């Protein structure tokens, strides 16, 4: 969490190798990804990483279903397997009936859910999500957070999420506040969501009261 312009998207872009940092290292699974070649980086992103972009990044020329299956198609999975994976995921996110529509026919919330589905369709080891609940109503936001929680618990995927929303943040184990590109403060959950939610609100009000 952190104010607009504090560097949240920049951090995710560096962790995913979209941007190269001018200094420092990024260690994922014991590997410094800043040392990978462009080809190795592309493979790492395709096989290990899911990214829910702040502005969705859906391809306008592909249907919703094609957009979501893209990581599997690139990975040369069979049409049966793709079908098998997409069905339940799209149903869970309430976008099954939109599968043949193109992104420009969809609302922001529908695009966001499609972007989330695409990011998790190959069960990535690491999921980076930039404001994944930003355009969702509270029910859809709740469903998405439960889906991410279950990926974390079921598959052990590591999830790093940017959010302005204390409710979404309360599903996490650890919340890091950044400002002007620096880690400012961090809090960890004791396990229960509701007390953590209150703790996040409190931290936000204290940090928000600070002069910039």
Ligand X SMILES: Nc1ncnc2c1ncn2[C@@H]1O[C@H](COP(=O)(O)OP(=O)(O)OP(=O)(O)O)[C@@H](O)[C@H]1O
Residue 95 or residue 200: which is nearer to ligand X going by CB? 200
Q: Cα angle at 199 between 143 and 130, to 5 degrees?
A: 45
Question: Could you say which of Mg ion, ligand X, none residue 6 binds, taking C-beta under 5 to 8 angstroms by partner kind?
Answer: ligand X
Pick one of 1, 8, 136, 163: the residue that binds ligand X (CB under 6 A).
Answer: 8
Question: Could you say which of Mg ion, ligand X, none residue 10 binds, taking C-beta under 5 to 8 angstroms by partner kind?
Answer: ligand X
- Part in contact with ligand X (CB under 6 A); list of ranges 3-11, 64-72, 187-195, 197-205: 3-11
User: What is the closest distance, in whole angstroms, from the C-beta atom of residue 86 to ligand X in the complex?
Assistant: 29
Pick one of 7, 26, 142, 197: the residue that binds ligand X (CB under 6 A).
Answer: 7
Backbone angles phi, psi at 143, to 5 degrees: -60, -40
Left if phi > 0, otherwise alpha if psi is -120 to 50, otherwise beta: which for 86? alpha
Burial of 84 (0-12, 13-18, 19+ CB in 10 A): exposed
Q: Which residues contact 23 (CB under 8 A, 6 or more apart)?
A: none
Q: Examine residue 22 and tell whether it contacts ligand X (CB under 6 A).
A: no
Q: Kindly list the residues in this chain that would bind Mg ion in the complex (CB under 5 A).
A: 9
SS3 9: helix
The residues with which 32 forms a beta bridge, in sequence order, are 27
Closest chain position to Mg ion (CB):
9
Distance from CA of residue 192 to its chain's centroid?
22
Residue 9 or residue 189: which is nearer to ligand X going by CB? 9
- Part in contact with ligand X (CB under 6 A); list of ranges 1-9, 85-93, 142-150, 151-159: 1-9
Q: Examine residue 118 and tell whether it contacts ligand X (CB under 6 A).
A: no
Residue 6 or residue 157: which is nearer to ligand X going by CB? 6
Residue 162 or residue 172: which is nearer to ligand X going by CB? 162
Q: Are 66 and 72 in contact (CB under 8 A)?
A: no
Residue 87 or residue 181: which is nearer to ligand X going by CB? 181
DSSP of 68-99: HHHHHHHTT--HHHHHHHHHHHHHHTT-GGGT
Cα separation, 176 vs 186, whole angstroms: 4
Residue 12 or residue 86: which is nearer to ligand X going by CB? 12
User: What is the closest distance, in whole angstroms, from the C-beta atom of residue 8 to Mg ion in the complex?
Assistant: 5
Q: Which residues bind ligand X (CB under 6 A)?
A: 2, 4-10, 54
């Amino acid at each position: 969490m952190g104010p607009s312009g504090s560097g949240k998207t920049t951090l995710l872009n560096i962790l995913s190798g979209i941007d190269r940092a001018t200094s420092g290292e990024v260690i994922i699974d014991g590997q410094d990804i800043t040392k990978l070649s462009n080809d190795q980086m592309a493979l790492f992103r395709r096989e290990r990483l899911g990214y829910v972009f702040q502005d969705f990044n859906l391809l306008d020329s592909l249907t919703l279903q094609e957009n979501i299956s893209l990581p599997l198609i690139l990975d040369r999975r069979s049409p049966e397997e793709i079908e098998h994976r997409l069905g339940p995921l799209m149903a869970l996110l309430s976008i099954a009936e939109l599968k043949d529509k193109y992104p420009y026919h969809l609302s922001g919330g529908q695009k966001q859910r499609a972007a989330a589905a695409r990011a998790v369709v190959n069960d990535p080891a690491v999921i980076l999500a930039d404001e994944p609940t930003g355009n969702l109503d509270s029910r859809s936001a709740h469903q998405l957070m439960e889906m991410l929680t279950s990926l974390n618990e079921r598959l052990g995927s590591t999830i790093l999420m940017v959010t302005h929303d204390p409710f979404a943040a309360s599903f996490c184990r650890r919340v890091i506040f950044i400002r002007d590109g620096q880690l400012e403060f961090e809090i960890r959950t004791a396990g229960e969501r509701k007390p953590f939610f209150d703790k996040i609100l409190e931290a936000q009000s204290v940090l928000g009261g600070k002069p910039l």
